[in-house]
Chain A
Amino acid sequence: MRVALPRAGVSILLVLVAVGVAAVVLNLAGFDVARVGDAAWRGAFGSTSAIVSATLKRATPLALLGIAVAVAFRAGVLNIGADGQFLAGATASVAATLFLADFPPPVVLCGGLLAGIAGGASWAALAAWLRTRFAVPEVVSTLLLNFVAANLVGYLVRGPLQEPTHSYPQSAVLPAAGRLPQLVVGERLHLGFVFAVVACVAAAWIFDRTAAGFRARAVGLNARAAESAGGVSANHVRTLALIISGGIAGVAGFGEANGVTYALYEGLSPGYGYTAIAVALLGGLRPAGVGAAAVFFGALGAGADAVQRDAGVPAEMASVVAALVILGLLMLPAGHRLVGEEGAR
């Protein structure tokens, strides 16, 4: 059960191959590849606005979710429920923001952030509890909880959290006090981007410089050795890693709801939680690499949106590229032991 943690050069080569394969598929499907490529490039990098308001804005949740996935994977927990934890975080943030609407902006924003962390962490804690108490594997529980979360959001935006006129399946629009400030005037990049950068730096520091990070990596590398030689409780470490992973995913949900959409609605996540797996692996589960991979997938998503508008290619094509990247990485000669034997089930 090993995965390769690629070097930067290998990652770039793999990305080029994946994009190339996608181009061949598009060509076979009868699209004008040159036009698609041109539209994608302009959508992702064509102007300052494209870079800031499209690529970096989209990279923000992907970086946070990529870090969330990397934290879990490093500790040997296969958390494929980042999507559900993201939605749980966004839901809690929106509820808290609306509840605190009359307070000064810092109070509203801090309340929203804390609620987001709590929402994502508790959704992950549910999976952790199901494993420790009932031996339900995380792979199954986190996956199923994604669907529960998506349907719960669908219920809430038609029920308790629906906007006051009860006409649309979405929450009330967040008050100005609950909106994350923009980093560049007139552009859509918000303070959440800073959170993503901070998360990358903090995760790097925790993994490389602290005892807790060392214990997590030890459990991920060889749980039995960590327990017998290091006196570490693998179960405890895995539970904590999964809950922290969920909390980080919750921050991503907060950033998206309070920084981009200003409301909760179904389809808030176009599969961010799944793309995040590609982000984490392409980044070699290392925070700096995850940040770089998030910018790539942010650009890919921004480009795919532009292509859907301009050339009529469905934006889902971006997930084909993400999938090819994951498959390519998994086929590399593996060095890093990803998940302990019992963790895979």
Chain B
Amino acid sequence: MSRLRIDIRVRRGDFNLDTRFELPAAGVIAVLGPSGSGKTTLMSAIAGILKPREGVIAIGEEAFFDSARKLDLPIEARGCGFVFQDARLFPHLSVEQNLSYGLARRRGRPITQETSHVVEMLGIGHLARRRPATLSGGERQRVAIGRALLSQPRLLLLDEPISAVDQDRKGEILPYLERLRDEANLPILYVSHALDEVLRLADQVVLIAGGRCEAAGAAAAVLSDHPIAGERRITVFDGSVLEHDRAIGLTCVSTAVGTFRIPMTDTLIGKRLRLVVEARDVALATAELMGLSIRNRFRATITRIERLDPSQALVALSASGGGVMAVLTHDAIADLRLAPGAEVWCLVKSVAVDRVPG
């Protein structure tokens, strides 16, 4: 599989973006970071709208930009479908004409995104003759996504496509984005500052803060191992549904660290399910306990203890197949004599497990 390679320095007024990461160019790569952290600058540089001072932007063997080789492909030759925050539909063209604009200018790339399928997937068929000015925010963004997809891009760049849409209209886009991820078969860079969107959509995550890449990798690992600005510490487990036990009302989900029992879901057996556990909902025990209501228990080894504030600490644990984060009081840590290397039981209440439809 080809890899997306970014290693660039971009200056934009007072702001400096200095970012380096390399990831498989597949699935949804979420670029997560607070406002002003350089996410849009990064997207613009990849699309060629902004020129980096120096560095490399490449997918596989093909470079879009390489300052050492004096290579700087013009925007139109990069094949980066760009969905802007404000949609930017052409106001003088109908929805149908907007959709075919990029298709007619695909520069010889083969058609992998069929018009009929894209229109059906995004639910925009009934809008064909409308003008952009008459569309709702959610409709506008869906048409913009369709227009970008139909240009048959090598890479789709979505710059906070939901942020400009009213809160209660966000539901008009998210399900479509999930279908896009599952059906477009195209690497997608998805910029967001909202953890819940990223949890729902991302296969991989690039964490950005202050113009620098802090982490890049599989979504579950990055989101578990790193603090996210303004969010509580979490552990993310990617699993699949093993079985539903209707008699006791629990669903079993197989993950790398073991099987979770969670309140019944309607996700089909075998389907992916992403579980999220807040670190403060994880309890640790030094011995297996009897007479306990907690359904989910697995063994893990403490790898690190990190002071958060005068009363709490973050305990990082390594279980078979993955990490787990727990937030405990210093008092509890001292009481149990917890230290790196210690083997413990991790306990997670079933009702404390959040599930993200995958």
- The yes or no verdict on A and B being binding partners is no
B interface residue numbers (CB < 8 A to A): none
Task: Give the B-binding residues of A (Cβ under 8 A).
Answer: none
